Structure 1
Amino acid sequence: MSDHVHIVFDETAMVAAGRGNSMTSRLIHRANEDADWHLYAPACAVVEADRTRPGTAEHIASLPGIVILDLDLPAALGIASKDTWGAAHARYAAEPNAERPDGAYIATADPHRWAGRPVRVLDVNP
């Protein structure tokens, strides 16, 4: 078990961050202050967030505590058959891998969308 905390923002959490959501603000602050906390924004989810709330992509990309995860070939192959690439890329990013052996939590403002899926969810609603 790792001492590191890994959190993937889905598009709903990114939109919430752009609207001044207190929970996402605390997560971003914590990631800036604590080297053991890591926040991720999958590129496909960034696109979906920006479609929902224009300007979100620039806002998320400007935050030093958030790592933008590119859509590389393994990610593209992992999400290609899914309905919404934003959610699929977030789920793919939260799966265990070499960098995140325990996987990651998915921060979301819509926890019901993840019901029945094998992911750990962090509800960012107040």
Structure 2
Amino acid sequence: MTAAGTGNVLASRLIHRAHAEVGWYLYAPACALVEADRARPGTAEHLASLPGITFLSLDLPAALAVAQHATWAQAHAHHAAQPTAERPDGAIIATTVPTRWVGELVRVLDLSP
């Protein structure tokens, strides 16, 4: 999420497509939003102002998943990437730190410059 405010072209393209194209969705887990804002203050407000981003609340299933990872952000993102009725194939985690996800059963999109 911090990549969105640093001029990362790939992150900007994802945000644009989620806004402009039918069938494209960009999800922002609340816990990841908090961690991004702590790392780069103002990130949460910036992302909240952008159209096309769906914010995922910390519901009970997500809260139960939090204990399984090193950080709340990673746990919530991992939970959000799992298949659901709305997303039968799950979601892809877009990140500038793909090594964080080595060994996890999630699909990753590397946003590293």
Paired residue for 2:89, among 87, 102, 114?
102
Q: CA deviation at 1:99?
A: 0.9
Question: Unaligned 5+ residue runs, structure 2?
Answer: none
Q: Greater relative contact order (Cα 8 A, min sep 6): structure 1 or 2?
A: 1
The percent identity for this pair of structures is: 67
| Equivalent residue number for residue 33 of structure 2 | 46
TM-score normalised by length of structure 2? 0.96
Q: How does 1:101-120 map to 2 (within 5 A)?
A: 101-120=88-107
Q: CA deviation at 1:82?
A: 2.8
Q: CA deviation at 1:46?
A: 0.2
CA distance in 2 between partners of 1:121 and 1:26 (Å): 16
| Equivalent residue number for residue 4 of structure 1 | none
Could you give the per-residue CA deviations for residues 74-120 of structure 1, whole angstroms, max 9, x where no partner exists? Answer: 11112234320001100100000111010010000001111111110
Question: Are 1:23 and 2:10 an aligned pair?
Answer: yes
Q: How many residues align?
A: 113
CA distance in 1 between partners of 2:102 and 2:69 (Å): 16
CA distance in 1 between partners of 2:101 and 2:48 (Å): 25
TM-score normalised by length of structure 1? 0.86
Report the structure, 1 or 2, having the larger strand content.
1
| Equivalent residue number for residue 60 of structure 2 | 73
Runs ≥4 residues deviating over 6 A: none
